[in-house]
Amino acid sequence: MSDGYTNNLCSAYHSKCGDRKAPNKRSKALLKPDNLLVPPHEMSRIGKVIGILSGKGGVGKSLVTALLAVTERRRGVSVGIMDADITGPSIPRFFGRSQRVKMDEFGLYPVETVTGISVVSLNLMIDHETDPVILRGLIISGLVKQFWTEVIWKDIDYLFIDMPPGSGDVPLTVF
Ligand SMILES: Nc1ncnc2c1ncn2[C@@H]1O[C@H](COP(=O)(O)OP(=O)(O)OP(=O)(O)O)[C@@H](O)[C@H]1O
Ligand SMILES: [Mg+2]
């Protein structure tokens, strides 16, 4: 186009229309939502991921997460629970677990419940579950990401994710 209006617009931005280039493949690729997907640990094979969330707190998310996991485990499938409620973890207590998550050079290993459900929670990474922990936004979503990329979930059919209330950083990171 070379009408007066477009020419004025181009000169206002100190460039000519003919000089403008289409974005290269890489910058286009950066805009693709698929790129927000992060692969899990290479030693994990995770079947289905099921997030349990609600906008409101105290409505039974953690209880539903635990009951779903127990129900599926009773059906004989292998199950994991990621306690993504970093600032209010409650899953270990449901299962009476307090030992710490083990780690080696390959990654972190979930704690197993009596019936063999694999659990990862911040409460299983600190010395005492009542210890105060101060965490700000980015660290919280970073931890959730680590629960996915650095935990060796091995071979599980269902990974249930207990979320904190609301639609903030953690649910967005999980999605
Ligand atoms: N269906 C239910 N009937 C009666 N009590 C329930 C039910 N579901 C959960 N509770 C009780 O309500 C309380 C809150 O449940 P829970 O911790 O599962 O909620 P939550 O949504 O995970 O809370 P938060 O948002 O703080 O993580 C607990 O004491 C739990 O035992
Ligand atoms: Mg909860």
Using the atom order of ligand 1, give the atom closest to the CA of residue 56.
25
**CATH number of the domain encompassing residue 88:** 3.40.50.300
- Whether 58 and 125 share a structural domain: yes
User: In this predicted structure, what is the pLDDT of residue 12?
Assistant: 52
Burial zone of 105 (CB within 10 Å; 0-12 exposed, 13-18 middle, 19+ buried): exposed
Mean pLDDT to the nearest integer, 129-140: 89
The pLDDT tens digits of the residues spanning 36-50 come to 789 999 999 999 999
Domain count, the chain: 2
Chain centroid to CA 80: how far? Answer: 14
Q: Both 20 and 62 in a single domain?
A: no
Atom 1 of ligand 1: nearest residue by CA position: 60
162/104 same-domain check:
yes
Task: Judge if 91 and 163 occupy the same domain.
Answer: yes
Helix (H) or strand (E) holding 26: helix 25-30
| Alpha-carbon gap, residue 11 to 71, rounded angstroms | 67
Q: Are residues 26 and 50 in the same domain?
A: no
Going from the Cα of 161 to the center of ligand 2, the distance in angstroms, rounded, reads 10
Q: What is the pLDDT of residues 50-79, one digit of tens each?
A: 999 999 999 999 999 999 999 999 999 999
- Does residue 61 have its Cβ closer than 6 Å to ligand 1? yes
Rounded CA gap, 152 and 131, in Å?
A: 26
Do 24 and 45 sit in the same domain of this protein? no
* Same domain assignment for residues 23 and 71: no
Predicted confidence band at 129 (pLDDT cuts at 50, 70, 90)? Answer: confident
Q: Ligand 1 in contact with 90 (CB < 6 A)?
A: yes
Print the domain residue range for 57.
40-174
Lowest mean pLDDT among 20-34, 45-59, 105-119, 144-158: 20-34
Contact criterion met (CB below 8 Å) for 41 and 145: no
Pair 22, 102 in one domain: no
Give the pLDDT confidence score for residue 130 in this predicted structure.
87
